[in-house]
Each structure stands twice: as C-alpha cells, then as structure tokens.
Structure 1
Amino acid sequence: MAITSANQLELLQTAEAVAREKMIDPELVIEAMEESLARAAKSRYGTEMDIRVSIDRKTGRATFTRIRTVVADEELENYQAELTVEQAKQYLSDPKIGDEIRDEVPPVEMGRIAAQSAKQVILQKVREAERDRQYEEFKDRAGTIINGVVKREEYGNVIVDIGRGEGILRRNEKIGRESYRNGDRIRCYIKDVRREARGPQIFLSRTAPEFMAELFKMEVPEIYDGIIEIKAVARDPGSRAKIAVVSYDGSIDPVGACVGMRGSRVQAVVNELQGEKIDIIPWNEDVPTFLVNALQPAEVSKVVLDEEAERIEVVVPDEQLSLAIGRRGQNVRLASQLTGLDIDIMTEEEESARRQKEFEERTQLFMDTLDLDEFFAQLLVAEGFTNLEEVAYVEVDELLVIDGVDEDTAAELQARARDHIDEMNRKALERAKELGVEQSLIDFEGLTPQMIEALAEDGVKTLEDFATCADWELAGGWTTVNGERVKDDGVLEKFDVSLGEAQDMVMTARIQLGWVDPAELESDEEAEDEDAVDTEEAGA
C-alpha cells in the first residue's frame, strides 16, 4: 500500500477521528503515524538508515527523508547514516562535522506485515497518550468526591465508570453491608491516583474519614466557605462516626450548623453512608476538654493527661462506664482516634482504690526509711510528698506547714532522709562496681548511683556503652504494633528521666567521647532554626 494522493487527506481525517474518539491531541496521532511510516521505510530501505517521515498538516502529504550526519574519519561506523567530511563535499561546499545531509526518498510500498506493524505502533502511541491524558485529568482530583456508575464487580472489588476513565473501589474500601449491581449510581472519594505501567490507577473509597468530611463540605455552606472547619474525623464505617468542628465566627454554632434545620444536613450525610450514626463534637484546643466532648454521650468526672506518653486517664461514674466504653469498645476507640491519644477509662471506685493504694505505699516508704509512726508518715503523704528526695532537699518552710512540725523536727526529718539516701547511694555504687562498671560512667554528670546500678544490671557498664543507647531505651517510649501502641520500658524510666533529658545525656556522652563535633551540632541546630523560620514565613 503506497501513500498516494487518494489517501493523503485520509491520513488527516483518520488522525482527527481517532483523536476525537480518544479525546487526545490530533498532533499525537499524526506523530505516531509518522513514526510508523518511518519504521516501514526502514524495513524497506535498511534498518541502519536514518529515515524520517513528515506529514504535511494541511495536505496530508507524507515526505520520506534520508538523513546522513557528517562525522570524523575515525568515528565513521554506520555507512548508511554517516559520512566523512571528504565524502560530504560532493553535497556541500564547506561541510563540517555535525552537518546533516537530507535526501528525499520515494514513498514505500507497505506490505501486509508492514501495515500491521504500523497499525500496532499507532495504537500503542494512542494508548500511551490516552493514559497520560487520564492521569493528568485525575491526579489533581485526588481528595475530592466523584460520581460514577458501577460497571462490574471483580473478586469483591467494584469497577466504577467515572466518565473518562475507570476507578476501582476495593473490597476493604466499601461500607460493610453495601452491595452494588451493574448500572447503579455511586458516590466515592478519590483516595489515590497512581501512574502505573498498565495505565493510571484511580483508587476510590467510601470508608475513608475524608469522605465524610467532603460530604459535610457539600452539605454545609459554612464549611465550604471556611467559617467552620472540620478538625478531626473518626469512623467505624457503616456503624458510627465522630466529627470535631470549630467555628471562626462567634455568632455561628458549629454543631448546630452541621446538624441543620431539623437535622436535614446531617441526615443527608447519614443517608449517603447507609445509616452511619454521626456524633458532631465541638473542637477545643484544651485536650482534656476536647476529650470530655469526644466521649459523649458519657459523662466524665476527671481527666488526667500524660502528654509525653500521649496517654490520658478518664474517670467516669460507675454507672457511666459501659456508656463511655461503648458497644465492643466503639465509643472509646473513636474518641481515641479523634484525639490521637490512648485512653484508659476507669470508674470512680477503681480510681479511689488506686489512689488509696498509692497513699499506703508512700506511707509505708516514709515509715520504713525515716523511722516514723503511721500518723506522721500519712501527714507527709497528705501534704504531697512522694519520695525521699523531696523530703531531703525541699525548702524547710514547706515542712513547717505540717501540723506538729517545728524547725528542729524538720531538720531531723531532712537529716534522716539524707542519711538514708547516702546509704542507698553507697550500696548502689558498690553493687555497680561489683557488676564491672567503669569509672568513666561513674563520673558522668547527670547519673545518680541508683541510675548507674540500673544501667549496670542492663549491661551498660562504660561510657561507650551509654553513648550507643537510644533515648527511648533509657526513658521508655511507645511503639505501634499491628495498629496498637505497645509500651517500651526504659532502663531509667523509674527515675522519671524524660525523653528530652535522655537525648541530652546521650549526646553529651558522644561529645565527650569525640564521636560528635559540638560545632557541627550547633550549625545543624542553626540550620533547623532557619528552616523553621522560612517555613513560618512561607505559611504567613
């Protein structure tokens, strides 16, 4: 098949038709045709030749051009596509290395195999262009809601027609009791768009917390306008959800705005989510207050926050315990997701028993170490003293406020406490030396004898050993395993060493050993400070 005048315009018409059908640029189709014709020409004239084809965008005429490049004599390798300066003189008056000589060659007769090959090239190029177009169209729509039509179901995954492409709603992204038939209309959240070898993959979701947030944005104009902001969402898809909102206009109630007149706004979201119950909660910067709101409808008596461990203890009346925990732990689980904290719930009776046990343990400590009677030891505990160090090194005035304690009694108490601490230190140091602790660790500032003993029992006996420790190994921490936070006990955790203090001590040890240059450390900190300032300025 030759490219004759009869079918020259047909090339352009075909390119236009394909481009219109696939919704891609006609130029891409013509370029694919040029490449396919060039391949066919190479198979006719020789694969070593550099033959290029140009299709006139107005007439459709295909021009076949052979290109030869001028190279140095010693670089001549391909005699079909290259020639020397001397050889080029018969074509150019003053040839230079790098010049190109173009000769038009006759159009080729395309046999059946060549035509089939050309067709495959064009189809491949069109497919690639179509995939690129789909990716470019949907990549910026990630994080939005899209309407589609169910096309088919494959192994529990739903394939959704979303207009100019297909999305996949995986089995684990469907709300549990939902089922779909071909042709059903469906609304989904575009969770991710990835460019893959088989084409762009558009992943949809109906269980993502962001899906609920986007639904509220569609139903509540105040959220769309930015007057109300959704701060956090936690979902048990198809069953129950909690959403925290805050208003930046004092005259607008964020909860009331999201509920709507007679519940119309929230009901529209509930209907879309197959009856999922939604608790709308006012957000608060104060974490304990926010948690109290998040545990609604349960009433909370007391909240104790441990920011470092990211844990919070909640005390509720005995009759409120089951309500606070919720069916199968649902209420407390959603509140935990909403606040980002681990929540321990206990009844007032359990909390009272725990406090009583702590009171008795501290009372016994003072009775045993300070040789006090039970009543006097209880007075110390009642005044807030929890350990010997507090008694030994507190200002005398704080001891004088206790009934029956004068200056002589206070001095005696502190002397006994200090004597006992000194004795404990002496025994701890002896024990540490028996375990093989080196003097370099004993002399390290910031470690008490009891700490050194604990380190020795854990196998840390030299300053080098100490410098290789991670901060969490010393102060303790939390690790997430299979979605659950697990406690990591620290060697020095019982001495109330914080994560920051552990970091400082380890870094000091590394500097003393020469492992870290203080100057480099300071320059790194300055760079981090500059980055933080730049980030703040960019945000402003």
Structure 2
Amino acid sequence: MAITSANQLELLQTAEAVAREKMIDPGLVVEAMEESLARAAKSRYGAEMDIRVHIDRKTGRAQFTRVRTVVEEEELENYQAEMTVDQAKQYMADPAIGDTFVEEVPPVEMGRIAAQSAKQVILQKVREAERDRQYEEFKDRAGTIINGQVKREEYGNVIVDVGRGEAILRRNEKIGRESYRPNDRIRCYIKDVRREVRGPQIFLSRTDPQFMAELFKMEVPEIYDGIIEIKAVARDPGSRAKIAVISYDGSIDPVGACVGMRGSRVQAVVNELQGEKIDIIPWNEDIPTFLVNALQPAEVSKVVFDEDAERIEVVVPDEQLSLAIGRRGQNVRLASQLTGLDIDIMTEEEESARRQKEFEERTKLFMDALDLDEFFAQLLVAEGFTNLEEVAYVEQDELLVIDGVDADTALELQTRARENLEAQARKALETARELGAEDSLIDFEGLTPQMVEALAKDGVKTLEDFATCADWELAGGWTTDNGERVKDDGLLEPFDMSLEEAQTLVMTARVLLGWVDPSELDPRVDEDEAAEDDTDATEETGA
C-alpha cells in the first residue's frame, strides 16, 4: 500500500473517527500513525536510519524524511543516522556539533506485513491514550460516589460500567450476600484508582464506612453545606452502623437533621445499605461522654479513661451487660471503632470484686512491710495510700489526718517504710550484680536498683546495652496487628515509666557514650545560633 493522494485524506478521516469513538485527542491518533509509518519506512530503508514521518493536519499528506545528526568524530557509531563535521560540509555551509541534516525520501510501498505492523502500533498508541484519559478522569474522583451499570460477574467480583471505563466491585466489598444481574443499576463508593500496566484500575466498595458518610452528605443538605460535620463512622456492613455528628450551628440539632422528618433522610440511607440499622450519635470532645453516647442504647454507670494506654474501662449495671456488648460483641466493637479506643466492659459486681481484691492486696502489703495490724493497714488503704513510697515520702500532715495517728506514729510509719524500701533496694542490687550488671548501668542516674535488676534479668547489663533499647521496649506501648491493638510489655513498665521518661533516659545514655551530639537534643541551641547569626548580620548591615 502506497500513501497516494487518493487516500491521504482518509488518514485524517480515520484518525478523527477513532478519536471520536475512543474519546481521545485526534492529534494522538495522527502521532500514532506517523510513528507506525516511520517504523514501516525503517523496515524498507534500514533499521539504523533515523526515518521520521510528518502528516499534514490539513491535507493528510505524509512526508518521509531522513535525519542525520552531526557528532564528534570519536563518537561516531551509527553511520546511517550520524556524521562528522567534515562529512556534513558536503551538505551544510557551516556545520556544528548537534546540527541535523534533513532530507526527504520517497514514500514507501507498505506490504501486508508492514501494514499489519503499522496497525498494531496505532492500536497500541490509541489504547495507551485511552488508558491515560480514563486515569485522568477518575483519579480525582476517589472518595466519591458513582452510579454504574452491572456488566457481568466473575468469581464473585462485579464488573461495573461507569461510563468511560470499567470498575470492579470485589466480593469482599459487597454488602452481605448481595447479588447482581447484568444491566442492574448500582451505586458504589470509589475506594481507589490505580495506574497499572494493564490500564487504570478503579476499585469500588459498598462496605467502606465512608460510603455511608457520602450517602448522608447526599441526603442531608446541612452536611453538604458544612453546618453539620460527620466526625466518625463505624460499620458492620449490612447489619449495624454508628455515625457521630456535630453541629456548628447551635440552632440545629445534628441528630434530628440526619434523621429527617419522620426518619425520611436516614431511611433513604438504610434502604441503599440493604436495611443496615444506623445509630446516629452526637459527637462530644470529652471522650468518656462521647463513649457513653456511643454505647447507646446501653446505660453506663462509670467510665475510667487511661489516656496513655488509649484504653477505657466502662462499668454497666449487671442487667445492661448483654445490651452494652451487643450481639456477638457488635455494639462494643462499633463503639471502639468510633472512638478509636480499646474498651473493657465490666459489671458493677465485677468492678466491686476487683476493688475489693485490690484493697485486700494493699492491706496485706502494709501489714507485712510495716508490721501493722489489719485494722491500721486498712486505714492507710482507705486514705488512698497504694504503695510504700507514698507512705515513706509523703508530707507528715497527710498521715496525721488518719484517726489515731500522731506525730510520733507518723514518724515511725515513715521510718519503717524507708527501711523496708532500702532493704528491697539492697537485695535488688545484689541480684543485679549476680546477674552480671556492670557499674556503668548501676550508677546511671535515673535507674533504681529494682529497675537495674529487671533490666539485667532481660540481658541488659551495660550502659551500651541500655542505649540500644527503644523507648517502647522500656515503657511499653501498643501496636496494631490485623486491625487489633496488641499490648507490648515494657521492661520498666511495672515502675510506671512513661514513654517520654524512657526517651530521655535512652538519649542521655547515648550522649554519655558519645553516640549523640548533645546539641542535637536541644532544639533551642539551633534557635540561639540562628538568633546570633541574625544579630551579626544586622550589625554588619548597620556598620
């Protein structure tokens, strides 16, 4: 096939037809044709030649040219596409390195194989352009709801026609046992859009918590306008969900606005989610108060919040326990997801038993350590004393408020407590030395003998060993494993060491060992230096 005047205009007509069908720029199709013709020409004139083709956008005429570049003589490798300055003087007046010499060559006769190759190049370019167009169109729509039409179902995954492309709703992203037939209308949440080798992949979801949030945004104008904000969402898809909302207008009730007149707004969302029950909860900055709301419809007697551990203990009446936990733990699980905290639920009877056990343990501690009778030890516990350190180092006035305790008795209690603590320290130090703890660790400021003993039992016997520890290894912490928070026990956690204290101790050890520059620990040093530089610069300017 030769590119003759008879079919020159057909090139442009074909390019426009393909561009319209695939909804891409006609110029991209013409560029693909130019590349395919150039490839065919190279097969005719030689693969080493730099053959280029330009198709006139108005007439459709294809111009074939051969390009040769001027290079240094020692860099000359391809004699068909490159030439030296001396060689270039035959064709150019004053050639320089980097100049190009372009000459037109006759159009090629395209045989069957060349035409097939050209067709493949064009199809490939068109596919790439189509993929780029799809990706650009959908990449900014992630996090929104889209309406589509079911095309087919493959191994439980639903392929959805979303207009200018296809998307996939995976089996685990469907609600319950949803099933769809071809041509069914479907509404989904665009969870992710990825650029992959086989083209842009659009992943849909109907189980994502944000799908429900977007549905409420569509049904509740106040959410769309920003008057009401959805602060948190937790779902058990197809079964139950909790959504926390807050109103920035005191005259608008966020819960009532989301429910709507006679429940019309929330019912529209429920119908879309296959009857999923939805609890709408008012958001509160006070976490315990918010948790009480989140555990509705159960009643809560008391909440104990451990901010460091991000755990919360909830005490409920005995008859409310099953309601607070919910069927298969659903209610407490959703409340935990909503608040981002681990929740321990116990009945009033269980809490009472635990408090009684703690009371007895502390009473026995004071009886054994301070040689007190049971009644006197119970008085100390009742006044809030929990350990020997509190008795030993508290102000005497706090002991004198206890019935029957005078100044001499208070002094005797503190003396006994301190002697007992010193004895424990001596014993811990002996054990630590027996385990191999070195003086560098024993003498390190900030560690008690009991701490050194605990470290030595775990193989931390030198200051170098201690300096290699991570802060969470000492103070403990929490990690998330498969969506569940898991407790990491710290070596010094029994001594109530915080993460900040552990960080300080470890960094101090590294400074003593010369591993860290002390100036790196105090950002104020850099600020002072910067201030001095500014002062010097100002003085120089003034001078």
TM-score, normalised via structure 1 length: 0.96
Q: What CA distance in whole angstroms lies between the structure 2 residues aligned with 1:75 and 1:243? A: 70
For the pair 1:384 / 2:417, whether they are aligned, the reply is no
Paired amino acid for 1:199: G
Give 1:310 shift: 1.0
Instruction: Indicate the residue corresponding to 1:533 in structure 2.
Output: none
For the pair 1:334 / 2:340, whether they are aligned, the reply is no
Instruction: Indicate the residue corresponding to 1:114 in structure 2.
Output: 114
Q: What CA distance in whole angstroms lies between the structure 1 residues aligned with 2:119 and 2:197? A: 21
Instruction: Indicate the residue corresponding to 2:275 in structure 1.
Output: 275
Can you list the C-alpha shifts for 1:436-490, whole angstroms capped at 9, x where unaligned? 2111111111111111111122221111111112222211222323332222222
**Is the Cα contact below 8 Å between 2:317 and 2:348 reproduced in 1?**
yes
Deviates more, 1:319-328 or 1:45-54: 45-54
Paired amino acid for 2:349: E
Instruction: Indicate the residue corresponding to 1:502 in structure 2.
Output: 502
**Cα pair distance change 1:369/1:327, threshold 3 Å:** same
Paired amino acid for 2:110: M
Q: How does 1:193-342 map to 2 (within 5 A)?
A: 193-342=193-342
Instruction: Indicate the residue corresponding to 1:442 in structure 2.
Output: 442
Paired amino acid for 2:173: E
Q: What CA distance in whole angstroms lies between the structure 1 residues aligned with 2:121 and 2:427? A: 85
Paired amino acid for 1:193: V
Q: What CA distance in whole angstroms lies between the structure 2 residues aligned with 1:363 and 1:82? A: 96
**Is the Cα contact below 8 Å between 1:63 and 1:104 reproduced in 2?**
yes
**Is the Cα contact below 8 Å between 2:519 and 2:525 reproduced in 1?**
no
Gaps of 5+ in 2: 531-543
**Is the Cα contact below 8 Å between 1:391 and 1:413 reproduced in 2?**
yes
SS in 2 for 1:183: coil
SS in 1 for 2:5: coil
Instruction: Indicate the residue corresponding to 1:88 in structure 2.
Output: 88
Q: What CA distance in whole angstroms lies between the structure 2 residues aligned with 1:431 and 1:90? A: 95
Give 1:345 shift: 0.3
Q: What CA distance in whole angstroms lies between the structure 2 residues aligned with 1:195 and 1:251? A: 46
Instruction: Indicate the residue corresponding to 1:132 in structure 2.
Output: 132
Paired amino acid for 2:356: Q
Give 1:520 shift: 2.6
Can you list the C-alpha shifts for 1:354-381, whole angstroms capped at 9, x where unaligned? 0000001101111111111111111111
Instruction: Indicate the residue corresponding to 1:371 in structure 2.
Output: 371
Q: How many aligned residue pairs are there?
A: 528
Can you list the C-alpha shifts for 1:287-337, whole angstroms capped at 9, x where unaligned? 111100000000000000111111110000000000000000000000000
**Is the Cα contact below 8 Å between 2:302 and 2:316 reproduced in 1?**
yes
Instruction: Indicate the residue corresponding to 1:534 in structure 2.
Output: none
Instruction: Indicate the residue corresponding to 1:12 in structure 2.
Output: 12
Paired amino acid for 1:391: V
Deviates more, 1:438-447 or 1:268-277: 438-447
**Cα pair distance change 1:487/1:74, threshold 3 Å:** closer
Q: What CA distance in whole angstroms lies between the structure 2 residues aligned with 1:88 and 1:370? A: 106
Deviates more, 1:489-498 or 1:319-328: 489-498
Q: What CA distance in whole angstroms lies between the structure 2 residues aligned with 1:284 and 1:148? A: 37
SS in 1 for 2:214: helix
Q: What CA distance in whole angstroms lies between the structure 2 residues aligned with 1:469 and 1:208? A: 39
Give 1:78 shift: 1.8
SS in 1 for 2:511: helix
Paired amino acid for 2:500: G
Q: What CA distance in whole angstroms lies between the structure 2 residues aligned with 1:256 and 1:146? A: 27
Instruction: Indicate the residue corresponding to 2:343 in structure 1.
Output: 343
Can you list the C-alpha shifts for 1:95-143, whole angstroms capped at 9, x where unaligned? 2222211111111111111111000000000000000000000000000
Q: What CA distance in whole angstroms lies between the structure 1 residues aligned with 2:208 and 2:526? A: 40
Instruction: Indicate the residue corresponding to 2:142 in structure 1.
Output: 142
Deviates more, 1:434-443 or 1:352-361: 434-443
Give 1:525 shift: 9.6
Q: What CA distance in whole angstroms lies between the structure 2 residues aligned with 1:28 and 1:525? A: 58
For the pair 1:423 / 2:427, whether they are aligned, the reply is no
Instruction: Indicate the residue corresponding to 2:43 in structure 1.
Output: 43
Q: What CA distance in whole angstroms lies between the structure 2 residues aligned with 1:400 and 1:73? A: 102
Give 1:90 shift: 2.3
**Is the Cα contact below 8 Å between 2:230 and 2:246 reproduced in 1?**
yes
Paired amino acid for 2:423: E
Q: What CA distance in whole angstroms lies between the structure 2 residues aligned with 1:168 and 1:152? A: 10
Give 1:524 shift: 10
Q: What CA distance in whole angstroms lies between the structure 1 residues aligned with 2:499 and 2:74? A: 69
Q: What CA distance in whole angstroms lies between the structure 1 residues aligned with 2:488 and 2:88? A: 78
Q: What CA distance in whole angstroms lies between the structure 1 residues aligned with 2:209 and 2:344? A: 24
**Cα pair distance change 1:459/1:78, threshold 3 Å:** closer
Paired amino acid for 1:301: S
Instruction: Indicate the residue corresponding to 1:179 in structure 2.
Output: 179
Deviates more, 1:86-95 or 1:30-39: 86-95
Paired amino acid for 1:373: D
Q: What CA distance in whole angstroms lies between the structure 2 residues aligned with 1:9 and 1:388? A: 98
Taking only aligned residues, the RMSD between alpha carbons, in angstroms, comes to 1.4
Q: What CA distance in whole angstroms lies between the structure 1 residues aligned with 2:127 and 2:218? A: 35
Can you list the C-alpha shifts for 1:248-276, whole angstroms capped at 9, x where unaligned? 11111100000000000000000000000
**Is the Cα contact below 8 Å between 1:245 and 1:281 reproduced in 2?**
yes
Q: What CA distance in whole angstroms lies between the structure 2 residues aligned with 1:486 and 1:85? A: 73
Q: What CA distance in whole angstroms lies between the structure 1 residues aligned with 2:524 and 2:215? A: 44
SS in 1 for 2:193: strand
Percent identical: 88
Instruction: Indicate the residue corresponding to 2:535 in structure 1.
Output: none
Give 1:523 shift: 4.8
Paired amino acid for 1:94: D
Give 1:404 shift: 1.4
Give 1:72 shift: 2.6
**Cα pair distance change 1:526/1:318, threshold 3 Å:** farther
Give 1:93 shift: 1.7
Gaps of 5+ in 1: 531-540
Paired amino acid for 1:445: E
Can you list the C-alpha shifts for 1:23-65, whole angstroms capped at 9, x where unaligned? 0000000000000111111111111111111011111111111
SS in 2 for 1:509: helix
Instruction: Indicate the residue corresponding to 1:395 in structure 2.
Output: 395
**Is the Cα contact below 8 Å between 1:177 and 1:238 reproduced in 2?**
no
Q: What CA distance in whole angstroms lies between the structure 2 residues aligned with 1:446 and 1:73? A: 74
Paired amino acid for 2:311: R
**Cα pair distance change 1:523/1:409, threshold 3 Å:** closer
Paired amino acid for 1:239: S
Instruction: Indicate the residue corresponding to 2:60 in structure 1.
Output: 60
For the pair 1:487 / 2:487, whether they are aligned, the reply is yes
SS in 1 for 2:242: strand
TM-score, normalised via structure 2 length: 0.95
Paired amino acid for 2:65: T
